[in-house]
Structure 1
């Protein structure tokens, strides 16, 4: 155990860790001195702890320079068992937020970005008051977007609205305010709200400082801050991805402004060059960069990695890969190698509807003459969404035993209804084809009825998987009465 501790100490020294390692004695003596801290109770053999280590280290590096600084601490529970037992660390890792020695559960995620944002949120007021020019300089010396309200006094209408804005948006940007004349004179702002872009994101394509000049309303100011904090091309992360509007063009590569700064900035500048052209042309287009590993599930959705074994088909090391979603949510993939010219052409192609959308789809069948029609993503509109036919569509999975048992019954149903000219019976493999809106599944098989003129609101079938039961459902839902069956699903009698 002593050898383990020696190794741990050696590693910490080699890598100049910003994480504090506390023993039982250190913990008891030092924790009351910290107004706020985050503590990880860990075990050296814990695989999850090892996976979190680089994120914890990166967060510690950033938070040590926060105002006020927030220390990140680790306690080895295989050695300092007393402290771990005292604070209820029964599994590893366990994270506790400590305030003046008092503990509470840490409720956020443990990525570096999440830890930083959560602890900054806990560290101070919604808006920090700035008293001197030095306070302003210190406040702006970090890697987050910042907003400062320069007010004549805290009782002005704009100042009151600003305080309302600061709380809900704080997890995305940092807020401060001042009423000091010397600061207002220095920065030449008077009763203004100003957004400052952090130095690490600054570039030649957009202004690093932007003043709000819209109406004095909470909603308008909030919307302005959210939009401006994304800029022409911001980093899209797990925390902010919902903020980006469509049409959206995302460029994926190994984005990291801290560990891979030059490489990250080089490719971002190529994207910014294109984004600037569309911005100057008055076109409402949104751009972002994303780390390809962070958004690997998204790349799977765009067909850029293999879903079954998670092995990337395309690993964007030297050149990024680009995807897009238009205003309707349709997906596109740029097939050409990344360049500014190709990116611009791709954007124009999507905006002008000249590029085929990407659909995860099986090939369209060469022949489709069976009583049960085969639908795939690429022929879904042709088979299911046609307005002149009622359609019963089954979504299935090849590995589903219930689907296998239902298959002969479904064929029997289709055979009985083969003479109904206004009805199509279809099926689609939901594991190899993308389901269009509004179709969803939570189990297999799942069956919908899409009536004529009602394709946007198909009816979900919840009955038994038996021929008679499904027949009654079809007969009742059909737009016009079936030729061979009554509304109750019974066969019509034929006259001799």
Structure 2
């Protein structure tokens, strides 16, 4: 009996402890602010950076987001405040900020709507994204030491220098900073003496490139007196990278908007700063002669781009190769590689550039082998045979760009084969396909998903027509009857 009473008492004690723990958890304050119509503006202005999710209790996506949002709020506590607004109750606030779909996430700075949040929706992703966006749009620099600390960074720095805090031009600069803060590091000073070493006497904008990219072949900073709102972004973009920037996985899309030559080698400014600068200086000595020829230049860590060098340029680059590897990729998609070994005197690079500008280089084309037997109703096209088959001037061609891993392509294949068989007796049209994952897609054909279809008419090979119709046999036939340059002949019509 005593043992039974003891067990019952222990169970009651455990139940009581659990109840207390749950009650405590329920009373624990959340790191997420709950805002509404009455207090949104008041609380929003108290926070330099505020991430707000506008939600509805019945929204499944909102409920899925809530735990990650709460965890991110706890981690970011003290640097970035997170808040939420229940739009089923506080419709006025949600309507003011255009929250009509849920969840809608927005960033506010000092109470002002700074734009939509377009980052990850996991806790770690939100923390990483918002840490980069915490703080002011433009960092205020009081002294020259503040300036030196700010520019000693791996990314470029933009600094506005102004004669005083009441400057009208400063107000314009800060507007620009609000628009560009997610792309660039910006700061400003209201003491012209801070910018004296850069030649600033009154006001202007200084663009300082990363110290690691200092070189005797160009100044590491650029100064401009241009301070108009519309001209500052253009000045930054034109001067940001300099003659030969460091291409990374993060900035490659920005740098590749132009024709770009890249020199790949064992570049590592942390572990190998001297070797990194050694090869870059040899590159800059040569390319400085071609700075105005319409080709941009960059250096890159070879290891970061090994898979790209192999897949896009056919280069089986050995890990830790002794000499740099040089490639050119144009904005139209043409690719070239320097086959000669990179020489320390730069002569081989100079010959490569001379051949490029003279049009003597043959573009590299990734291609599967041309099939020995191509007698099936659907003709197989590879990059090397594209000119001979698809661009034949005397025939219409329907081409399917596909991938071997594409399930939609596989399901469509019987129908596409039936279409080819139905048209196989017509000498004026070819039904073809090309594996776009294993072959370079020619310029003029925009392929983002699979399958993608184009019709390339006889006499209009420079104006391919994208097929956007249905996926039934009659859909294809109706399209071809409408677009063909001749009267379409099918097997049942012969």
TM bracket, shorter-chain basis: 0.5 to 0.7
1:272 alignment partner, one of 284, 287, 291: 284
Task: Say if 1:387 and 1:455, in contact at 8 Å, map to a contact too.
Answer: no
TM-aligned CA deviation for residue 385 of structure 1: 2.8
- Does residue 285 in structure 1 map to residue 295 in structure 2? yes
- Does residue 375 in structure 1 map to residue 386 in structure 2? no
- Does residue 150 in structure 1 map to residue 161 in structure 2? yes
- Does residue 236 in structure 1 map to residue 215 in structure 2? no
Quote the residue 2:215 is aligned against: 203
TM-aligned CA deviation for residue 255 of structure 1: 2.6
Quote the residue 2:421 is aligned against: 412
Spell out the pairing of 1:53-202 with structure 2 (5 A cutoff). 96-99=75-78, 119=131, 121-122=133-134, 124-183=135-194, 188-189=199-200, 190-202=202-214
Task: Say if 2:161 and 2:192, in contact at 8 Å, map to a contact too.
Answer: no
Deviations 1:13-34 (A, max 9, x none): xxxxxxxxxxxxxxxxxxxxxx
TM-aligned CA deviation for residue 297 of structure 1: 4.3
TM-aligned CA deviation for residue 247 of structure 1: 1.3
Task: Say if 1:192 and 1:211, in contact at 8 Å, map to a contact too.
Answer: yes
Task: Say if 1:250 and 1:287, in contact at 8 Å, map to a contact too.
Answer: yes
2:395 alignment partner, one of 353, 368, 389: 389
Which ranges of structure 1 fall in alignment gaps of 5 or more residues? 1-86, 306-311
Quote the residue 1:491 is aligned against: 493
TM-aligned CA deviation for residue 286 of structure 1: 0.9
Over 3 Å counting, the alpha-carbon distance change for 1:229 and 1:460 in structure 2 is same
Spell out the pairing of 1:196-345 with structure 2 (5 A cutoff). 196-213=208-225, 215-244=226-255, 245-279=257-291, 282-304=292-314, 313-339=317-343, 340-345=346-351
**Counterparts of 2:479 and 2:283 in 1: how far apart (Å)?**
53
- Does residue 456 in structure 1 map to residue 455 in structure 2? no
Deviations 1:50-104 (A, max 9, x none): xxxxxxxxxxxxxxxxxxxxxxxxxxxxxxxxxxxxx9689x9999323269678
SS of 2:486's equivalent in the other structure is coil
Task: Say if 2:198 and 2:206, in contact at 8 Å, map to a contact too.
Answer: no
Structure 1 range deviating more: 365-374 or 286-295: 365-374
TM-aligned CA deviation for residue 228 of structure 1: 1.9
TM-aligned CA deviation for residue 438 of structure 1: 1.9
TM-aligned CA deviation for residue 369 of structure 1: 6.7
Over 3 Å counting, the alpha-carbon distance change for 1:414 and 1:134 in structure 2 is same
Task: Say if 1:146 and 1:197, in contact at 8 Å, map to a contact too.
Answer: yes
Task: Say if 2:287 and 2:297, in contact at 8 Å, map to a contact too.
Answer: yes
TM-aligned CA deviation for residue 259 of structure 1: 2.4
1:434 alignment partner, one of 436, 440, 457: 440
TM-aligned CA deviation for residue 115 of structure 1: 9.0
**Counterparts of 1:404 and 1:415 in 2: how far apart (Å)?**
16
Quote the residue 2:20 is aligned against: none
Task: Say if 2:209 and 2:241, in contact at 8 Å, map to a contact too.
Answer: no
Task: Say if 2:309 and 2:317, in contact at 8 Å, map to a contact too.
Answer: no
SS of 2:75's equivalent in the other structure is strand
Quote the residue 2:360 is aligned against: 354
Over 3 Å counting, the alpha-carbon distance change for 1:144 and 1:413 in structure 2 is same
- Does residue 478 in structure 1 map to residue 484 in structure 2? yes
**Counterparts of 1:390 and 1:144 in 2: how far apart (Å)?**
51
Over 3 Å counting, the alpha-carbon distance change for 1:329 and 1:425 in structure 2 is same
TM-aligned CA deviation for residue 289 of structure 1: 1.8
Which ranges of structure 2 fall in alignment gaps of 5 or more residues? 1-65, 84-104, 106-116
SS of 1:268's equivalent in the other structure is helix
Quote the residue 2:100 is aligned against: none
Aligned residues: CA RMSD:
3.8
Task: Say if 1:372 and 1:414, in contact at 8 Å, map to a contact too.
Answer: no
